[in-house]
Amino acid sequence: MAEAPPGQGVAPSLRRMLIPLALAQFICSFAGSNMNVMITDISHDLDTTVHGVQTAITLFLLVMAALMIPGGKLTDRWGRKRCFTAGLVIYGVGALLSAAAPNLGVLILGNSILEGVGTALLIPPVYILTTLLFHDMGSRARAFGVISGMGGVGAAMGPLLGGLITTAISWRAAFVFQALVVLAIAVMSKNIEDPLPADPTRHFDVIGSVLSAIGLVLIVLGILAADNNLALTALLLVLGAAVLAGFFAWVRREEASGREPLLSVSLFRNRVSNLALVTQNVQWLMLMGTSFVVSAYLQVVRGYNAIQTGVIFTASTLGILVSSLAAGRLARRFPQRSLILAGFVTNIVGIVVLLVLVKGRPGAWAFAPGLLLIGLGLGVMLTPSVNVVQSAFPEARQGEISGLSRCVSNLGSSLGTAIAGTILISNLVDPKRSYALAMVALGIIGLIGLGATFLLPRDNVPQVAV
């Protein structure tokens, strides 16, 4: 598909192609947060615990992160469009299975495993196809902005839409809704053409894929085990670190032998990209961690139902929408580093507000100002972080860095739910203390992201037209 000539904007055909790609990012992000408002309903219906639901949510995010890079590599062998379609089918089957789940095990199979695998096949083609279809940096940056913004909106709207559907119908209907959106994406994406042919002979690093997935799974499972078994946590963390060390040793060996590894270690030699990846990871960690902690606290401790919890999260949704809509104008007026700094400061202030304004037993809307600030902060810095990472590498490496970028973001989501959720759940006998500890932990992690942003160069961060 040809792009419109310079100065004439983006061709209408490309705009139509962008809709299903952005909608795919939206529904995958929605799936990562909408279960947060169903904690009480699911635990009662499936006779499980808050920790059981947390495990299902965390595993979904973890499967996405662990398989995102292998999913990106498979696009070379199978083709971008074919991977995208396969991801839609697997995701849709997982959503329907989750809707009919009779117990937690089946829910984990449908939501955590199948939807996670489907997402890992869906998301890499979204960013690779965008890179291939939008040729000039200006239109590509705008396309990335739309897709990243839809990801943030999906994550923020998950609690609201999920709460509305759960209260009006059932938590199971929320998964049917996901299946219907996936069907709509499949219909709208029929005319998307893959600009590059598939290469079935392309090498796929099976051992590297297995090692990276096992290492990440062990790390996150270790964090999840911290609420009741510190010895197991230590063992899993050590094993995970050892496996990941083995993974990096393996990919270095593959590169030295002239074979294509799962992930080139040279990607980590770019200081600007490394720092921006840290900011991406922390952004999603803070969003998903805050979403789980506040949702669980409101439902389990305050006794709010799904729609009451979801309505409170309207504040963060509004914040992301407002700042995302202003992202283009902000990018033309301010350096990307400044926007990321402003986003982190706003997020940290939001966490402080959530701590200060919810002392005692205030009304539900005491949570709104803090959530609004977190939404505003995230919307401001999502697109600049992606642009800094992508712009740090030449055209030929865009597919590879896209996969790493998505992996790091999704790993942040998984870690946020695991770390903050585990702190909250481990001490629910003293809910105010556990809530405060979880939010303080998120604030400290936010300071790490802020520190990484300060280390970005002032003048050498690529300024991408938006």
CB 383 within 8 A of CB 149: yes
pLDDT, residue 4, reads 43
Q: Please state, in angstroms and rounded to a whole number, the distance separating the CA atoms of residues 242 and 113.
A: 24
pLDDT, residue 258, reads 82
CATH architecture assignment, domain 12-205+262-454: Up-down Bundle (1.20)
Q: Please state, in angstroms and rounded to a whole number, the distance separating the CA atoms of residues 422 and 237.
A: 15
Q: Please give the radius of gyration of the chain, using alpha carbons only, rounded to the nearest integer.
A: 21
CB 291 within 8 A of CB 420: no
pLDDT band at 7 (very low <50, low <70, confident <90, very high): very low
Q: Please state, in angstroms and rounded to a whole number, the distance separating the CA atoms of residues 153 and 146.
A: 10
> What mean pLDDT, rounded, does the chain reach?
83
Residue 334 has pLDDT above 70, yes or no: yes
Q: Please state, in angstroms and rounded to a whole number, the distance separating the CA atoms of residues 405 and 258.
A: 24
Token pair for 12: 């209408």
pLDDT in tens, 413-450: 888 888 888 888 776 557 778 888 888 999 999 999 99
CB 159 within 8 A of CB 390: no
Assign 369 to helix, strand or coil. helix
The arithmetic mean of pLDDT across residues 377-392, rounded, is 82
pLDDT band at 175 (very low <50, low <70, confident <90, very high): very high
pLDDT, residue 13, reads 67
Name every residue whose Cβ is closer than 8 Å to that of residue 140 and which is 6 or more positions away in sequence: 130, 131, 134
Name every residue whose Cβ is closer than 8 Å to that of residue 106 and which is 6 or more positions away in sequence: 97, 98, 100
Query: 90, exposed or middle or buried, with CB in 10 Å at 0-12, 13-18, 19+?
Result: buried
CB 149 within 8 A of CB 20: no
pLDDT in tens, 177-199: 999 999 999 999 888 887 778 77
Domains of the chain, by residue range, sit at: 12-205+262-454, 206-261
Q: Phi-psi region for residue 9, left (φ > 0), alpha (ψ -120 to 50) or beta? A: left
How many residues comprise the chain?
A: 466
pLDDT, residue 465, reads 38
The arithmetic mean of pLDDT across residues 114-130, rounded, is 88
**DSSP per-residue string spanning 270-321:** -HHHHHHHHHHHHHHHHHHHHHHHHHHIIIIIS---HHHHHHHTHHHHHHHH
Residue 78 has pLDDT above 80, yes or no: yes
Q: How many CB atoms lie within 10 A of CB 126?
A: 25
